[in-house]
């Protein structure tokens, strides 16, 4: 059809045949309803003129999507506490099913001539009952759930047939066609439970999907759900209209109170929720929060789960120049981005102004992501920023990141400590001040020690000269790593004598990391990520 231009709705269907109809007769008399049918995967666009879009939202349009394919299984959650459950089989497969049932406090009986080691221990401890013989039909009497987990195909089929005849829920391991229910892959954040199933088509795929979902659900979600359950009655009493309750809970579960739970501050979260309910407005306080997050050395795969979660919920992203574009791209798409990077002799915003800028944004009720390269507490001035936040009473949390020394060294195949080369490691800044590098040189020239210099590119000649003049050999191995952990990583390996000239000829681009010590010799053997060395 040719819909009028303007606003549109988008729908995506997968693994089904869909029929989509948009009834225009209510708006344009005499016109036939527009319809579109297709086999999935299909992407449907419904275009509506702006004025008609408003009518559509008010119910003057009717949109229906009907599937002509049914689900193989209905996802449900069963309460089987103290219910009689039967498992047939005594091996390790049966043991895994028994362990799952016991997590729900079910009453479990196992029928098998003998028990494997795992089930035998459970029986000795009184956690399960054991009937030491082959399965009999009467074993199904008064059972709520039955699981057949033997390696006898004929026996499994017989159990399934008998269970179906008695309308007892039956699962036959790895035989979905014999099952009335399947056991999904489970994400357990009790009382929050999520389940993933392919209907037995591919248990491995279900586990892979579960693993991805696991990264999105913090372990503390269960505590957050428990808090919500405790306050459910109070909130319902306070807000008589369901829409008001929904708005309230959305703000609570996505705001500072939830973050208090995730940070382990359960008592503070309960107190804040109590105060929120007692407030006359009945809405959470509009104070925002600052997330001081370490973005790592550049590779987005090195971000922590917590960092990624906060990056995707922030309203404003305040970032510096050391944050890679690949990491920055993982922040929320509609978040405001503010660059406050510092380069040599060119500060986009002085540190003190950055500190107070974060305070102002939080007081506006915004969730502020202060995103820094590496780790915010290692030459990142993160301590100064949260010191100001603490003084001003701004809620904040700190998420560590992989510091450049660790990440870049690992990607270059240079262990920072090694039994044969270094028993200690020192991180120092190589930043120039008034044309010199002010360091405690005596602590740096100790034997069997690795020295890592941050921000040392500009002062490289002075650093190498200073180490040699204080006693290190000119032949001491040294490596300069450019943009470590990213596709532009480049590693120059030389000595204190020749590395400055090598770097000048190679046109190295910051950010860089300088590593000095015997461990550098291992790069030739252990380097795995990049082979763009210049020697």
199: helix, strand or coil: coil
Q: How far apart are alpha carbons 365 and 372 in whole angstroms?
A: 22
What's the pLDDT score for residue 36?
39
Query: CA nearest 143: which of 119, 174, 107?
Result: 107
Burial of 438: CB neighbours in 10 Å, binned 0-12, 13-18, 19+: exposed
For the residues 156-172, what does the mean pLDDT come to?
98
Q: Which strand ranges, in their side-by-side order, compose the sheet holding 289-294?
A: 336-339, 316-319, 367-372, 289-294, 396-399
What's the pLDDT score for residue 348?
66
Q: Given a cut of 50, is residue 44 above it in pLDDT? A: no
451: its two tokens: 């020295």
Ramachandran sector of residue 89 (left: φ over 0; alpha: ψ -120 to 50; beta: rest): left
288: its two tokens: 């925002």
CATH superfamily of 84-183: NAD(P)-binding Rossmann-like Domain (3.40.50.720)
Question: For residue 169, what is the DSSP state?
Answer: E
Catalytic residue ranges: 320, 342
What's the pLDDT score for residue 121?
97
For the residues 196-225, what does the mean pLDDT come to?
86
Handedness of CA 401, 404, 405, 410 (dihedral sign): positive
Handedness of CA 151, 157, 159, 163 (dihedral sign): positive
What's the pLDDT score for residue 128?
98
Q: How far apart are alpha carbons 446 and 468 in whole angstroms?
A: 12
Least confident of 56-70, 89-103, 249-263: 56-70
Q: Given a cut of 60, is residue 279 above it in pLDDT? A: yes
Query: CA nearest 364: which of 345, 387, 338, 342?
Result: 338
β-pairing verdict for 34-39 and 17-22: antiparallel
Query: CA nearest 188: which of 198, 199, 196, 176?
Result: 196
What's the pLDDT score for residue 3?
39
What's the pLDDT score for residue 343?
65
Each residue's pLDDT tens digit, 481-521: 999 999 999 999 999 999 999 999 998 989 999 999 999 99
For the residues 296-303, what does the mean pLDDT come to?
96
Each residue's pLDDT tens digit, 361-389: 999 989 999 999 999 999 999 999 999 99
Q: How many other CB atoms sit within 10 Å of the CB of residue 406?
A: 22
What's the pLDDT score for residue 369?
98
The CATH classification number of 289-402 equals 3.40.1010.10
- For the chain, the structural domain boundaries read 7-67, 84-183, 187-216, 221-240+255-278, 289-402, 408-526
**Geometric angle at alpha carbon 189, from 88 and 296, rounded to 5°:** 125
What's the pLDDT score for residue 26?
37
140: helix, strand or coil: helix
In terms of pLDDT, which residue wins out, 286 or 498? 498
End-to-end CA distance of the chain: 65
What's the pLDDT score for residue 142?
96
Q: What percent of the chain has pLDDT over 90?
A: 64
Burial of 109: CB neighbours in 10 Å, binned 0-12, 13-18, 19+: middle
244: its two tokens: 């008001």
What's the pLDDT score for residue 25?
36
What's the pLDDT score for residue 303?
96
What's the pLDDT score for residue 256?
84
Residue 191: which pLDDT band, with cuts at 50, 70 and 90?
confident
Name 92's Cβ contacts closer than 8 Å, sequence gap at least 6. 116, 118
- pTM of the predicted structure, to 2 decimals: 0.68
Q: Given a cut of 80, is residue 446 above it in pLDDT? A: yes
Query: CA nearest 318: which of 335, 338, 298?
Result: 338
Residue 451: which pLDDT band, with cuts at 50, 70 and 90?
very high
Q: How far apart are alpha carbons 209 and 248 in whole angstroms?
A: 31
Is 408-526 in the same CATH topology as 84-183? no
What's the pLDDT score for residue 46?
39
For the residues 277-298, what does the mean pLDDT come to?
79
Q: What percent of the chain has pLDDT over 70?
A: 83
What's the pLDDT score for residue 37?
38
- CATH fold of the domain at 408-526: 3.30.950
Residue 476: which pLDDT band, with cuts at 50, 70 and 90?
very high
Tokens 């036939």, residue? 32
Q: Helices then strands (H, E): number in the chain?
A: 18, 24
Q: What is the mean pLDDT of the chain?
A: 85
């Amino acid at each position: 059809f040719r819909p009028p231009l303007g606003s549109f709705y988008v729908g995506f269907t997968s693994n089904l045949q869909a029929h989509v109809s948009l009834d225009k007769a209510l708006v344009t008399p005499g016109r036939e309803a527009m319809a579109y049918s297709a086999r999935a995967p299909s992407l449907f666009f419904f275009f509506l003129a702006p004025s008609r879009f408003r009518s559509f939202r008010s119910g003057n349009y009717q949109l229906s999507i009907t599937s002509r394919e049914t689900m193989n299984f209905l996802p449900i959650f069963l309460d089987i506490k103290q219910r009689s459950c039967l498992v047939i089989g005594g091996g390790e497969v049966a043991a895994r099913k028994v362990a799952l049932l016991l997590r729900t406090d079910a009453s479990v009986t196992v029928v098998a001539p003998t028990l494997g080691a795992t089930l035998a221990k459970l029986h000795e401890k009184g956690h399960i009952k054991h009937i030491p013989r082959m399965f009999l039909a009467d074993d199904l009497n008064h059972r709520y759930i039955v699981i057949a987990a033997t390696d006898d195909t004929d026996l499994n089929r017989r159990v399934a047939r008998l269970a179906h005849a008695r309308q007892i829920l039956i699962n036959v391991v790895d035989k979905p066609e014999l099952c009335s229910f399947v056991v999904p892959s489970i994400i357990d954040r009790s009382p929050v439970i999520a389940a993933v199933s392919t209907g037995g088509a591919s248990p491995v795929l279900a586990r892979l999907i579960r693993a991805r979902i696991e990264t999105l659900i913090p372990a503390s979600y269960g505590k957050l759900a428990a808090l919500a359950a405790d306050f459910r009655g109070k909130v319902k009493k306070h807000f008589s209209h369901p829409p008001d309750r929904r708005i309230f809970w959305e703000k609570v579960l996505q705001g500072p109170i939830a973050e208090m739970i995730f940070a382990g501050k359960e008592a503070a979260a309960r107190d804040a929720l109590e105060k929120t309910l007692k407030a006359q407005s009945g809405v959470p306080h509009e104070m925002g929060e600052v997330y001081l997050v370490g973005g790592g050395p550049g590779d987005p795969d090195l971000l922590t789960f917590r960092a990624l979660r906060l990056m995707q919920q922030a309203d404003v992203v305040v970032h510096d120049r050391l944050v890679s574009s690949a990491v920055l791209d993982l922040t929320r798409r509609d978040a405001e981005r503010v660059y406050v990077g510092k380069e040599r002799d060119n500060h986009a915003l002085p540190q003190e102004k950055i500190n107070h800028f974060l305070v102002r944004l939080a007081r506006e009720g915004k969730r502020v992501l202060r995103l820094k390269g590496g780790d915010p507490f290692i030459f990142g001035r993160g301590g100064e920023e949260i010191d100001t936040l603490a003084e001003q009473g701004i809620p904040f949390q700190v998420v560590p990141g992989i510091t450049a020394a660790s990440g870049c060294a690992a990607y270059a195949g240079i262990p920072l400590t090694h039994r044969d080369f270094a028993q200690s490691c020192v991180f120092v800044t190589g930043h120039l001040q008034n044309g010199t590098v002010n360091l405690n040189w005596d602590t740096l020239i100790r034997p069997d020690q690795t020295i890592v210099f941050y921000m040392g590119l500009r002062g490289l000649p002075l650093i190498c000269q200073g180490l040699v003049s204080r006693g290190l050999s000119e032949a001491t191995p040294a490596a300069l790593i450019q943009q470590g952990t990213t596709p532009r990583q480049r590693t120059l390996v030389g000595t204190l004598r020749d590395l400055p000239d090598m770097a000048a000829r190679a046109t190295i681009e910051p950010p860089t990391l300088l590593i000095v010590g015997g461990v550098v010799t291992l790069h030739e053997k252990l380097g795995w990520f990049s082979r763009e060395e210049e020697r």
